[in-house]
Amino acid sequence: MKFIDESKIEVFAGNGGNGAASFRREKYIDKGGPDGGDGGRGGSVFAQADRNINTLVDYRFARIHRAKNGESGRGADCYGKGADDIVLRMPVGTVITDINSGEVIADLAHDGEKALLAQGGKGGLGNIHFKSSTNRAPRQCTPGTEGETRELQLELKVLADVGLLGMPNAGKSTFIRSVSAARPKVADYPFTTLHPNLGVVRVSHEKSFVIADIPGLIEGAAEGAGLGHQFLRHLARTRLLLHLVDIAPMYEGTDPVAEARAILNELKKYDQLLYEKPRWLVLNKLDLLEDRDAKTAAFLEQFTDFDRHFAISAINGEGCKELTYAIMDHLQEMAAQEQQAAADSAQETDADTI
């Protein structure tokens, strides 16, 4: 299945049915009074997150989604039937934005989460609502209201705890294959990864985290070089970034330090908040180095922009287990800090209420 992570759609909610102006007419009852029923409501359009869907490909070509109108009311106190709502199922992590206003309508971050995209119109009132002691034969009725219409931008941001950054052929796909059951394509040429891959890293029976691998970046990605930085949006929800660097490049004259700086520059151009996320340096391909300690130390002397650093060999798993344990500990510490902050905020709210 082709991976699609953005699309534009139009949604049309149904109009409400019109109310009826009718009078009861039966044998021997020539003035039975008003009996016009109300119109039915129009169908609404909802979006719902579904963990079984991984891409927005269903909305690449099916761009118009229209709910049905409500039925009009009829005589004999018959109310019009309301139209059924339609539910658009989307991947977990989809952000829905109104193109005209720029308002974020919904952020479907959890499986089963549901959001209203377009409200159906209300049904009109029949003339039975307008009768009174002074108006016994009302001929008034109201039309149904129109349903909402919206033009929406869908943007998928995959849900992951850890994101991988690096130049093409830095070994990101090999790393994710080494630590998880994910099997992204691995080859000895650049841009092997063409779309994000997710892998679940299980540290123990009770502890695990999700890691995301995106296509490699190159210098000038912000200007459209290579695959550009279109996939960086998938790192927006991560808690930790791992910057993989090829410490033993196959081409002579390649400077790992310059490549690492180029990636950080592209990250900063794209989003300052993403740039400020916790970042760990991971030096990969130790198996290709003879004097690994000296070369690792030389790299670290020139580059000090990371919170922590690790040296691994993704191809044979050297150092990978220690790295995953450190990641798990870091994520648990962050979760504990967030819980404590939430508890402190709740206490302050209670104190202000009292």
Total of domains in the chain: 2
Q: Are residues 115 and 200 in the same domain?
A: no
CB 36 within 8 A of CB 21: yes
| Nearest in space to 37 (alpha carbons), one of 126, 122, 131, 129 | 126
Q: Residue 211's pLDDT band (boundaries 50, 70, 90)?
A: confident
354 within some domain: no
Q: Are residues 176 and 151 in the same domain?
A: no
CB within 8 Å of 82: residues ≥ 6 apart? 40, 41, 42, 43, 70, 71, 123
CATH number, residue 35? 2.70.210.12
Q: Are residues 207 and 99 in the same domain?
A: no
Read off the pLDDT of each residue in 189-212 and give the average, rounded to a whole number: 72
Tell which of 156, 189, 220 closes a domain.
156
Q: Does residue 122 carry a pLDDT above 90?
A: yes
229 within some domain: yes
Query: What does the pLDDT read at residue 256?
Result: 82
Query: What does the pLDDT read at residue 216?
Result: 55
319 within some domain: yes
Domain span holding position 24: 6-156
353 within some domain: no
Tell which of 156, 189, 214 closes a domain.
156
Read off the pLDDT of each residue in 6-30 and give the average, rounded to a whole number: 89
Q: Are residues 123 and 191 in the same domain?
A: no
> At 189, is the secondary structure helix, strand, or coil?
coil
37 within some domain: yes
Query: What does the pLDDT read at residue 144?
Result: 93
Q: Are residues 263 and 198 in the same domain?
A: yes
| Nearest in space to 13 (alpha carbons), one of 50, 48, 41 | 41
Q: Are residues 150 and 221 in the same domain?
A: no
207 sits in the region (left: phi over 0; alpha: psi -120 to 50; else beta) called beta
Q: Does residue 257 carry a pLDDT above 80?
A: yes
CATH number, residue 248? 3.40.50.300
Query: In this predicted model, which residue has the larger pLDDT, 341 or 87?
Result: 87
Read off the pLDDT of each residue in 237-251 and give the average, rounded to a whole number: 84
Q: Residue 203's pLDDT band (boundaries 50, 70, 90)?
A: confident
Read off the pLDDT of each residue in 102-130 and give the average, rounded to a whole number: 92
CB 68 within 8 A of CB 84: yes
CA distances from 101 to 105, 147, 153, 196 (A): 10, 18, 11, 29
Query: What does the pLDDT read at residue 156?
Result: 83
Query: In this predicted model, which residue has the larger pLDDT, 266 or 201?
Result: 201
348 within some domain: no
22 within some domain: yes
d(Cα 196, Cα 210) in Å, to the nearest integer?
12
- What is the DSSP-derived secondary structure letter of residue 344? H
Give 20-58 pLDDT, tens digit per residue.
Answer: 999 888 887 777 889 899 999 999 999 999 988 877 888
Q: Residue 65's pLDDT band (boundaries 50, 70, 90)?
A: very high
Q: Are residues 150 and 29 in the same domain?
A: yes
Q: Are residues 84 and 127 in the same domain?
A: yes
Please state, rounded to an integer, the average pLDDT across all residues of the chain: 82
Query: What does the pLDDT read at residue 186?
Result: 53
Query: What does the pLDDT read at residue 218?
Result: 52
Tell which of 104, 136, 156 closes a domain.
156
CB 237 within 8 A of CB 277: no
Q: Are residues 150 and 179 in the same domain?
A: no
Q: Are residues 185 and 137 in the same domain?
A: no
- What is the DSSP-derived secondary structure letter of residue 171? S
Read off the pLDDT of each residue in 117-126 and give the average, rounded to a whole number: 94
Q: Does residue 228 carry a pLDDT above 70?
A: no
Dump the DSSP string for 254-269.
--HHHHHHHHHHHHHH
183 within some domain: yes
Give 313-352 pLDDT, tens digit per residue.
Answer: 888 888 899 999 999 999 888 888 888 887 887 777 766 6
Query: What does the pLDDT read at residue 190?
Result: 44
d(Cα 297, Cα 137) in Å, to the nearest integer?
94
Q: Are residues 186 and 130 in the same domain?
A: no
Q: Are residues 203 and 318 in the same domain?
A: yes
